[in-house]
Amino acid sequence: MHVSFLQAVLIALVYYLGNGPWLAGVGYYTLYRPLVAGFLVGLILGNPVQGTMVGAAINLMYLGFISAGGSLPADPCLAGTVGAAIAIASNLDPKVAVALAAPIGLLGTLIWFIRMTVNATFAHVADRYAEEGNTRGIMLANVVYPQILLFIISVIPVFLASYYGAASVQTVLNFLGGKVLHILIVIGGMLPALGIAINMRAITKRETIMYYFMGFFLVMYLKLDVVSIAIFGAIIAYAVVISSRKERTT
């Protein structure tokens, strides 16, 4: 399938909106996530169902995604938009899409680095406006200048990758053959472990590791789904909190 000029522009806009401020600040929680980005890219390319499946698969890698203190371990939004575009255009298995999206996500940290570095210049522009007591200037320095920059550095690469990249990936994969596809599927199956482990680094402590095992084996043996684990987890967490509060008061 060929990605048209207009479609590539729209995919690039999804990426910009996921990174930009215009969606009431929740762009980072919605379009930035491959699940949502994949669905929208699918919608743009005329196959929202496949887009959703691919986006969901790619998002597994970034389940535990945390960006803190200005660091970005990877760029889920780039992996989601470009990854879904490639997967739909080349009709790839979602697991293959995961393995292809992983390096794309790493490349995205470059865009982040440019943005975080150049934006520091606008902080100094804001200093000058503050000196004059110019409140409109603060708005310009916080919104207009950095967003022009972000628009340029996000729309151009995503447009190029979706417009030219999508079709060539299929040619390369066909050329490489089945063994490579198998390896990509193996890698794609393992990568979600990384996203989960990154999240565990942030929230799981020595005292709570047993709840991790509980969640794991409840799914393995009783075939419960994630939502029911969340409900039981919340009940147990509540019980623990209540009993520790009683201990403290007695």
Partner 1 sequence: MREEMRSDESKKKKLSRGDVVKSFLIWLFFSHSCYNYERLQGVGFAHAMVPILTKLYDTKEDISAGLKRHLTFFNTEPNVGAVVHGLTIAMEEEKANGAPISDEAINATKTGLMGPFAGIGDTITQGTITPILLAFGISLGQTGNVLGPILYAILISVVIIGIAYGMWMTGYSQGRKGVESLVSGNLISTMVTFAGILGSAVMGALTAQFVSVSTPVVITVGVTSLKLQTDILDKILPGILPLSLTLLVWWLLSRKHSAMAVMGYIVLAGIILGLIGFL
Residues 70-99 touching partner 1, rule: CB under 8 A, are 70, 73-74, 94-95, 99
Answer yes or no whether residue 146 interacts with partner 1 by CB under 8 A.
yes
Answer yes or no whether residue 230 interacts with partner 1 by CB under 8 A.
yes
Query: How many Cβ atoms are within 10 Å of 152's Cβ, its own excluded?
Result: 12
Nearest CB to partner 1, comparing residues 155 and 218: 218
Answer yes or no whether residue 116 interacts with partner 1 by CB under 8 A.
yes
Q: Are 53 and 97 in contact (CB under 8 A)?
A: no
Give me 52's structure tokens.
């959703």
Q: Which residues have C-beta within 8 Å of that of residue 91, sequence separation ≥ 6?
A: 1, 170
Nearest CB to partner 1, comparing residues 139 and 156: 139
Answer yes or no whether residue 194 interacts with partner 1 by CB under 8 A.
yes
Taking the CA atoms of residue 96, residue 98, residue 104 and residue 110 in that order, the dihedral angle to the nearest 10 degrees is -160
Answer yes or no whether residue 24 interacts with partner 1 by CB under 8 A.
yes
Among 44, 77, 104, 126, binds partner 1 (CB under 8 A): 126
Task: Give the Cα separation of 95 and 99 in Å (integer).
Answer: 7
Answer yes or no whether residue 226 interacts with partner 1 by CB under 8 A.
yes
Candidates 5-13, 82-90, 142-150, 155-163; binding stretch for partner 1 (CB under 8 A): 142-150
Among 91, 172, 197, 243, binds partner 1 (CB under 8 A): 197
Answer yes or no whether residue 224 interacts with partner 1 by CB under 8 A.
yes
Answer yes or no whether residue 151 interacts with partner 1 by CB under 8 A.
no
Return the SS3 of 2. coil
Describe the chain by its helix, strand, coil percentages, rounded to 5: 80, 0, 20
Site string for partner 1, 172-191 (x = CB under 8 A): -------x--xx--xx-xxx
Rounded to a whole number, what is the distance in angstroms from the first to the last CA of the chain?
69
Task: Give the Cα separation of 212 and 85 in Å (integer).
Answer: 35
Answer yes or no whether residue 108 interacts with partner 1 by CB under 8 A.
no
Answer yes or no whether residue 155 interacts with partner 1 by CB under 8 A.
no
Task: Give the Cα separation of 13 and 11 in Å (integer).
Answer: 5
Answer yes or no whether residue 201 interacts with partner 1 by CB under 8 A.
yes
